[in-house]
Amino acid sequence: MIHTDIEIAEIGEICDNAWHALKVASATRSAPSPRRSALMAIRSWTSSAATRRLNISPKYLKPGFSFGGSCLPKDLRALTYRARRLDLDLPILTSVIPSNERHTSSGFRMIAEQGHRRVGVLA
C-alpha cells in the first residue's frame, strides 16, 4: 500500500492507464494486419511477456533523463523500418525516438543556460 495525497493518486492512475494503453496499442499494432503475420506478433509478445525481469521492472518507470545506449534505438528503428517495408503506419512507435531526442536536447539546453562548463553524471 502506498500512502499519498489525492492529487498524486489521481495523476498516478492516469499515468498507469496511459502506460497500459501504450502497451496494448504497441502489441496490437505489431501485427502487420489481422491476416498477415498476426501469429508471429502474438508469439513475439508472448515470449516478450515471459521476460519478467525486465518487462515489469520499476526501473523503466522512473521519470528522469532520456534513454541512451544502442539497444533501444537500434531495435526500435529495426521494427519501424520493417513496418514501413510492409506499408504499415506505426505512429506510436515512430514518435518514440524523436520524442526521446527532444527530451535529450531540452536537458542539454537547460544545462547550457545555467552557464556551467562542466557537468558530472551519477548513475
Which residues are catalytic, by number?
A: 71
Q: What are the helix (H) ranges across 30-113?
A: 38-49, 52-55, 71-85, 91-94, 96-113
Rg, the chain, Cα only: 18
Nearest to 32, CA basis, from 88, 78, 116 = 88
**What SS3 state is found at 32?**
coil
Residue type, 52: R
Sorted by sequence, the CB contacts under 8 Å of residue 67 that are 6+ apart come out as 73, 100
